[in-house]
Amino acid sequence: MLYIDNELHPETFAHRLPKVAAALGLEVPRNLFVDPLRGRLRDIYSMASYFDAIERGRFGLIIVDAFYRTLPKGSDENDNGEMTNIYNAIDCYGEKLGSSFSLIHHSSKGIQAGKAVTDVGAGAGAQSRATDTHLVLRQHEEDGAVVLDAAARSWAPLTPFCLRWDFPIWQPADDLDPAALRLEKKRPRKEERQTNEPATPEMTAERFVEQFITDQPQARDLIVARAVQAKLPQRRVEQLLLLALADGRMFEWSLKGDRKTHLANRRQELFG
């Protein structure tokens, strides 16, 4: 088996691999060859000479981790034509070497629960059709757990099951329900958000008088300006003034020598 890694430094991989093998109760296989390409990356087309140097039948499986780092510069993983050509190149390498290819790919952004297995991988739909087997890990509703699922073109369906992270490996989690995928948390609608916030009492004529009208006369324009500054719509302020006057909660008149209308919550005769 050939493991082509293009994300980790060689020393990191050398540290990680024995830990994983020990956790599994295994020794690092002698037929495992690791080639870290970080720092000397090559795209999938320029790797033709790399694979030409490998004799047919040398490796039964070639793992490319991560696939996105082998995409040619300037390519678009969302372009169906481009991705079809890339998968055709991989098929040619596999046919020539007599090897299967496993591509470690990232998922698209967001919660994956509502997607089909073949749609989890990021990029164009051509990938879904070109791949023979999709094996995906999706978040479980429990933190630190995932659901493993697969879609195989030529083999029997796989029953999904759960895994729980136990450094440095995933362990089976038979106590978890594989149907309990993590769902996207919907933002509450405006009405729902309002129910979670302290309710603001409705502004009535009575409350308006208590808040803005005093027993000392004030210019009507000044009262309106203060109410608007307190975030009340001016049209609503005018309505509340009319209602308060009609209900006898406040009174209006013009003071001697002043043409402006004044308002107070006591009758004008009290001011002489």
The one-character DSSP state at 272 is -
| Of 223, 204, 211, the residue nearest 263 (C-alpha) | 223
pTM above 0.75, yes or no: no
Cis peptide before 48 (omega within 30 of 0): no
The one-character DSSP state at 31 is T
Tell me the Ramachandran region of residue 248: left when phi exceeds 0, alpha when psi lies from -120 to 50, beta otherwise.
Answer: left
Task: Classify domain 2-105 at the CATH topology level.
Answer: Rossmann fold (3.40.50)
| pLDDT tens figures, 109-159 | 777 887 888 888 888 888 888 899 999 999 999 999 999 999 998 888 899
- With a pLDDT cut of 90, the percent of the chain lying above it is 50
Q: Where are the domains of the chain?
A: 2-105, 190-271
Strands 251-254 and 218-219: unpaired
What is the CB neighbour count within 10 angstroms for residue 184?
10
pLDDT at 107 over 90: no
**DSSP letters for 235-268:** HHHHHHHHHHHHTTS-EEEE-TT--SEEEESS-G
Structural contact between residues 38 and 9, judged by C-beta atoms closer than 8 angstroms: yes
User: Cα(108)–Cα(136) distance, rounded to whole angstroms?
Assistant: 12
Structural contact between residues 215 and 267, judged by C-beta atoms closer than 8 angstroms: no
Average pLDDT estimate for 258-270? 72
- The second-level CATH assignment, the architecture, of 190-271 is Orthogonal Bundle (1.10)
User: Cα(248)–Cα(262) distance, rounded to whole angstroms?
Assistant: 15
User: What local confidence, expressed as pLDDT, does residue 201 receive?
Assistant: 75
User: Cα(34)–Cα(54) distance, rounded to whole angstroms?
Assistant: 14
